[in-house]
Structure 1
Amino acid sequence: MVDQARAARLAKRISSIVAAAIGSGEIKDPRLHYVTITDARVSGDLHDATLFYTVMGQTLDVEPDYEGAAAALAKATGHLRSLVGAGTGVRFTPTLAFQLDTVPDAARHMEELVAKARANDEMVARRAAEATPAGDADPYRDDESER
């Protein structure tokens, strides 16, 4: 039987262990300097863990090294799995798989689309404010009934 709450707790613990190992410099690979663990998911049987990561660099005007980060994480997987096993105390240490997190890029794209839509809405509102009616102010007025 799958215990989703236990899987979620284990995923959170694995995420914090791996993030601490990368952030503290325990893994001495310079390619991991700008890597951030964003999320973790553990399978229902607690045998497989997928860790999502991002690579910073666009804010620093440097192109992120996605391939280098993926290679460094693949190289450090064994050591990170040992740390996870020691830090979690579960009977079977889950295998670790790393996947590039695309959520920040998708969020950035959505923000750009929303900004574009707002600019178009403002342009339409300005045109509507400056517009005059094409016909009479009251198109249903009947001149003959007013006589």
Structure 2
Amino acid sequence: MAGARQHQIADRIKVIVAELLERRVKDPRLGFVTITDVRVTGDNQHASIFYTVLGDAEAIEGSGAALRSATGMLRSEVAKRLNLRLAPTLEFFLDAVPDTARHIEELLAKARESDADVAARAEGAQYAGDADPYRRPTDEDDEDE
């Protein structure tokens, strides 16, 4: 049951923080931020919030700074809305999943190109030796046995 409770709290924190970022945080450094995941410790005392930012490195840096400066306000609002005895500490982490996915897509594209190149070279190729290099039993071999 504790796992279900943690999951419930994590989902609720995700919704609350996303809503607060949209409506209450007015920091000009905050770009287009998406909360991708929230993980809560077993004692509900710490929440790790993963986010992505649409934009370049400057937008990512600015959004990270804006999130760090708004952490206190976000924590107090989360505590109010969750009605928990102790407010969990919030820590923001830039989510690496989009970069990893982009890298995997690039690797898959290279593999497809390589496969297409190999298939193109093999199209007109012929065997170096016989078409069927394996020895087949003949009638004479059957009689010897």
TM-score of the two chains, using structure 1 as the length reference: 0.84
Paired residues of 1:38 and 1:101 also in contact (CA < 8 A): yes
The question of 1:74 aligning with 2:68 is answered: yes
2:32 corresponds to: 34
- Candidates 94, 102, 121, aligned match of 2:96: 102
Root-mean-square deviation over aligned CA pairs: 2.0
2:16 corresponds to: 17
What runs of 5+ residues in structure 1 fail to find an aligned partner?
none
Deviations 1:34-75, CA, capped at 9 Å, x for gaps: 111111000000000010111111xxxx54422211211111
Aligned length: 137
Distance (whole Å) between structure 1 residues aligned to residue 133 and residue 63 of structure 2: 67
In the TM superposition, 1:35-74 aligns within 5 A as 35-57=33-55, 62-74=56-68
What runs of 5+ residues in structure 2 fail to find an aligned partner?
140-145
Who wins on radius of gyration, i.e. which is larger?
Answer: 2
Counterpart amino acid of residue 4 in structure 1: G
Residue range with higher mean Cα deviation, 80-89 or 103-112 = 80-89
Percentage of identical aligned residues: 54
CA shift for structure 1 position 136? 3.3
Distance (whole Å) between structure 2 residues aligned to residue 44 and residue 128 of structure 1: 57
TM-score of the two chains, using structure 2 as the length reference: 0.85
Distance (whole Å) between structure 2 residues aligned to residue 87 and residue 120 of structure 1: 54
Counterpart amino acid of residue 10 in structure 2: A
Distance (whole Å) between structure 1 residues aligned to residue 35 and residue 135 of structure 2: 68
Distance (whole Å) between structure 2 residues aligned to residue 131 and residue 54 of structure 1: 49
Counterpart amino acid of residue 114 in structure 2: N
2:142 corresponds to: none
